[in-house]
Amino acid sequence: MQIYLVGGAVRDQLLDRPIKDTDYVVVGATVEDMLNAGFQQVGADFPVFLHPTTHDEYALARTERKQGVGYQGFSVHASPDVTLREDLQRRDLTVNAMAIEVTSLTDHTPISGEVIDYYGGLTDLADKVLRHVSSAFSEDPLRVLRTVRFFARYYDLGFAIADETMILMRQLVESGELNHLSSERIWQESSRATMQLSPHIYWQELFKIDALKDYIAPLHQAWHDGHIRETVQTALYFAGQMQLNLSQRWALLLASLNGDLFNQSHNDAQVNESNCDYSKLIKNISQIGNTAKVPKAQTQFASLFVQQAKKLSTIDTLNAADKIDLIQASGAHKAPEKISQLLVCNQVFQLAVQHRQMMLALNSFHAIGMDDIEPNLRGPAIGEALRQSRIKHLEKNDIS
């Protein structure tokens, strides 16, 4: 019997990142061996066991064969003759397919500390590339979401998805395989990705490969408007930097569905003039929640935010009646923290809107140069001509 630390624990140890889960592969053992050692099997058809005291996961070395659709369409073969190399080959990414041998089931001391790397994980880790291990990547559609989640997790370190892996991901989306994923698994991956430091990357990449059109069709449709898409992605970036909770991040994402917030959010004079059909908006948010198995708390907070965002953006000008109505509508009389969470969520959204406006201005600044003004100008006239040309360029391209 040989025991190996595998997967994320090895990857994050090499990246000097916090290790959240420790998983082990056991080579040369049977189910009976594990049960006799006091381990608890977590599934009759899946050779994974929990350590009796630490509850770490130990899996018998196994191979998988695709027999059906979706991520459940596999037959699993686990036996003492399955090698570590064969077990690691079935994994998704090379950076997740490395191992370190440890002493025993109960002693996790590395025998030598050598990283066993059959598929180039160390090179890809050094090059900051997320690359599939083998063509078997295409057999599991869940790997599309997992890869993008890892991209969001390590984006701040400079990681990128390999071009050839991106091709396989697009092919999986086009094949319709993602439609066979359960809503629970999709939400599990999506919620974890949304809580990363760079949550915008997860949703941005799924949109780019058309993976949202069936999962969250209203969001996919709304994001065809570049102004909405870029503003919300910026809001999600700030949400990650400011460590907002899941409800707040989900609300910012679904704010995409209310076009009024992007057209008028910075215009106080129009705050009460809305073209939004709120009954349809809330219905869409509820439908997304039901389809994607989003917990009730996140759906309710998102509905509340998109309904009250305009009032929240002008909180200092609201009269007494409006403030009382806001408290009643938000349930803050029973849960005062709701107002704080809503206000912070709104501040992040407004910051994203302002950032978008200034990025447009910056683009106009850089778009105009000496070639765009009269060549015979001299002295201060050059600076003034550049300024006026940049103003005109911004006025022409400013969508606010």
**181, burial (CB in 10 Å: exposed 0-12, middle 13-18, buried 19+):** buried
CB 276 within 8 A of CB 259: yes
**112, burial (CB in 10 Å: exposed 0-12, middle 13-18, buried 19+):** exposed
SS3 20: coil
| Measured distance between the N- and C-terminal CA atoms of the chain, rounded to whole angstroms | 66
pLDDT of 400 reads 55
Compute the average pLDDT of residues 371-376.
Answer: 93
DSSP string, 200-262: HHHHHHHHHTTTHHHHSHHHHHHTTSHHHHHHHHHHHHHHHHTT--HHHHHHHHHGGG-THHH
Compute the average pLDDT of residues 371-392.
Answer: 94
Distance CA(173)–CA(18), nearest Å, equals: 32
Give the confidence band of 79 by pLDDT, cuts at 50, 70, 90: confident
Distance CA(203)–CA(184), nearest Å, equals: 17
Compute the average pLDDT of residues 75-82.
Answer: 85
CB 400 within 8 A of CB 266: yes
Examine the pLDDT at 206 and tell me if it is beyond 60: yes
CB 124 within 8 A of CB 171: no
Percent of the chain scoring above 90 in pLDDT? 74
Please name every residue paired with 27 in a beta bridge, in sequence order, or none if there are none: 2
Task: Encode pLDDT of 40-75 as tens digits.
Answer: 998 767 789 999 988 889 999 998 776 555 555 557
pLDDT of 82 reads 94
Residue 290 is classified by DSSP as: H
Examine the pLDDT at 238 and tell me if it is beyond 80: yes
Residue 326 CB coordination number (10 Å): 17
Residue 174 CB coordination number (10 Å): 11
Using the Cα atoms of residue 169, residue 170, residue 173 and residue 176 in order, give the sign of their dihedral: negative
Percent of the chain scoring above 70 in pLDDT? 93
Give the ranges where 102-162 is alpha helix by DSSP (H).
121-127, 142-154
Task: Encode pLDDT of 284-304 as tens digits.
Answer: 999 999 988 999 999 999 999
> Encoding tokens for residue 135?
């063509």
Give the confidence band of 274 by pLDDT, cuts at 50, 70, 90: low
The pair phi, psi for residue 35, each rounded to 5°, is: -65, -40
Examine the pLDDT at 208 and tell me if it is beyond 80: yes
Compute the average pLDDT of residues 167-191.
Answer: 93
Examine the pLDDT at 172 and tell me if it is beyond 90: yes
Which residues have CB under 8 Å from 41's CB, separation 6+? 31, 34, 35, 47, 48, 49
Examine the pLDDT at 397 and tell me if it is beyond 90: no
With CA atoms as reference, report the closest residue to 96 among 69, 122, 67.
Answer: 122
The pair phi, psi for residue 275, each rounded to 5°, is: -100, 5
